[in-house]
Amino acid sequence: MKYYSTNNTNHLVGLREAVLNGLAPDNGLYMPERIPAFPEVFFSSLPQKSFREIAFAVANAFLSGDIDEDQLRKIIEHTISFDAPLVEIEENVFSLELFHGPTLAFKDFGARFMSQVLGYFAGQQEKEIVILVATSGDTGSAAANGFLGVAGTRVVVLYPSGKVSEIQEKQFTTLGNNIIALEVSGTFDDCQDLVKQAFLDRELKDKFFLTSANSINISRLIPQMFYYFYAWSRMEHKDKIIFSVPSGNFGNLTAGLIAKRMDLPIHHFVAATNINDAVPQYLDSKKFTPKPSVTTISNAMDVGNPSNFARMLDLYHHDFEKLSSDITGYSFTDDETKKAMNDVYRNSDYILDPHGAVGYLGLKRYQSKYSKSAGVFLETAHPAKFLETVSQTLKQPVEIPELLKNYLLKEKKTINVSSEFADFKKILLQILY
């Protein structure tokens, strides 16, 4: 399988180059040259398959020929070491719980898969791989924990100062070893811009082997398809299933769209955002207008200029009518999010985190307008990761899992940096030598 740049379809590279470079030289994102489709018999067999078997089949459709099957099975076994259960909280409303991994967030799937793929390729070269990660919360913790101790790699996490929860921050600022945390005076978009500029800087590219663990990297995107197939296989009634995806940088939704292109019978997607609503606005107006991100209680979705929107457009060949026929977009305020958290807890005794609450709201709005069919919203993080917000909203304490308690006891270690690229580059040169 070859991969092309969203900025130039004639720029084709193999999987190794696409994964190791992260971004194409023209600043485009890599996409597979074709989307392999599964036959109908494959889908009829899914309910009898395990999560690992499903994940292997999906991964092998893209990676066959680049990673041998035995090695890929080992990567899948490492990645899928926890479940993603479906929980029905109301009639025809299911929560897909993606927070049962080591950092209690959906990004554990992508980070664990990517760390193994990058580790596989790192063993084939002499130069250390430096992974740059911009995070608004969970990407940093998942990537840092996924790559912790992986030979031949070093991880630099950039995060906006004061804009991630304490627990999220502790999950990637207390690890040490091959993990370095940079606390940026700015927003997530500033962090993401610094990473993108680093990839385009000739001096940095000459001195270091840079790549990214954000969803701009194709090896982060592929494993996010796994749980769409798995969730669909576990639904009792599989006709016209709707998936509502709480969205920030839109990697999660893009993975679902690719799964649908592989003929997974998903009826429709809801792109559910907080007030950082560039994509819902596009779906309403046909105009994409990125803007500075605004801080909300669903902080992992505070993205004003989502990178994966380029992949979404590419997947539909920039055809607005086709794209909008598969996706409906809604945005919600913090007050609406808090109300949903309270309503669901009162009616169903189920605790939503703020991001899952946005996904729930998106699903309910779509069902009220268009279809009463069964729907799944992605519950992307454990509520305790947003302890203060959840406990204050529900007016009661939230139990903290032991995994998170252990992080809170550790000492935070970060390096402060401005949002100016020259400052970031100077510090990067210092810490990597």
**What H or E segment, with its residue span, contains residue 179?**
strand 179-185
CA 207-185-333 angle, to 5 degrees, is: 120
What is the full DSSP assignment across 31-63? EESS-----HHHHHHGGGS-HHHHHHHHHHHHH
Say how far residue 292 (Cα) sits from the centre of its chain. 20
CA 105-418-163 angle, to 5 degrees, is: 30
What is the full DSSP assignment across 208-269? SEEEE-STTSHHHHGGGGHHHHHHHHH-S--TTEEEEEE-SSSHHHHHHHHHHHTT--EEEE
Residue with tokens 């019978």: 265
Catalytic site includes residue 385: no
Decide: 311 and 28 in contact? Cβ < 8 Å: no
Decide: 344 and 357 in contact? Cβ < 8 Å: yes
Query: Tokens in use for 9?
Result: 């379809």
If phi > 0 it is left, if psi is from -120 to 50 it is alpha, else beta; for residue 395 that is: left
Closest to 276 in 3D by CA, of 309, 257, 298, 258: 298
CA distance 329 to 364: 12
Catalytic residue among 74, 107, 291, 426: 107
Query: Tokens in use for 334?
Result: 């913090």
Contacts of 227 (CB under 8 A, 6+ apart): 84, 96, 98, 106, 109
**What H or E segment, with its residue span, contains residue 338?**
helix 334-348
Query: Tokens in use for 236?
Result: 């009792």
CA distance 210 to 212: 7
Closest to 80 in 3D by CA, of 51, 107, 122, 42: 51
Q: Which residues are catalytic?
A: 107
